[in-house]
């Protein structure tokens, strides 16, 4: 379900991801475009794959994607998270070729996720490579 807020501009932004996206007050902070908050508490990188249909319907100008913290809380590897996010980006690029996409860094959040956060810094390199493609 989308939390959208009408703006005078026709530009639109879709935010997809986990708790950090879901609970953000994006419509208060971003006032120059229509904002669609598709964040879901507990979302993992694999769950992002299910959101592409919602994004196709919205056809936003820009997408901000943030996921991975919950993957680490579930003891998934950096490689798993990077490959899944890469698959999400490839899928979205194919379905929404003119849409600008940004992948946000993973925040160290809940204590149960910080045990794997030692693995998070190496994600910066693969995410940079994905972004350049």
The length of the chain is 133
Burial 19-45 (b: 16+ CB within 10 A, else e): bbbbebebbeebeebbbbbbbbeebbb
Q: Are 17 and 65 in contact (CB under 8 A)?
A: yes
Instruction: For residue 56, give every residue at least 6 positions away whose Cβ sits within 8 Å of its Cβ, in sequence order, or none.
Output: 95, 96
CATH of domain 3-132: 3.40.50.1110
Domain ranges of the chain: 3-132
| pTM of structure | 0.72
Q: What pLDDT, in 10s, does the model give residues 51-104?
A: 878 888 899 999 999 888 888 888 888 888 889 999 999 999 999 999 999 888
What's the rounded mean pLDDT across residues 17-21? 88
Give the number of other Cβ atoms within 10 Å of residue 74's Cβ.
Answer: 14
Quick one: what percent of the chain has pLDDT higher than 90? 35
User: Cα separation of 14 and 101, whole Å?
Assistant: 10
């Amino acid at each position: 379900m989308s939390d959208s807020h009408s703006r005078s501009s026709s530009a639109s932004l879709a935010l997809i991801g986990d708790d950090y996206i879901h609970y953000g007050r994006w419509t208060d902070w971003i006032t120059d475009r229509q904002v669609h908050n598709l964040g879901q508490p507990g979302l993992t990188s694999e769950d992002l794959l299910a959101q592409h249909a919602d994004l196709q319907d919205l056809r936003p100008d820009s997408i901000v994607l943030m996921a991975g913290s919950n993957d680490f809380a579930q003891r998934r590897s950096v490689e798993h998270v990077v490959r899944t996010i890469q698959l999400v980006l490839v899928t979205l690029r194919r379905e929404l070729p003119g849409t600008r996409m940004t992948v946000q860094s993973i925040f160290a959040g809940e204590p149960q996720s910080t045990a794997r956060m030692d693995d998070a810094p190496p994600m910066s390199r693969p995410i940079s490579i994905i972004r350049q493609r």
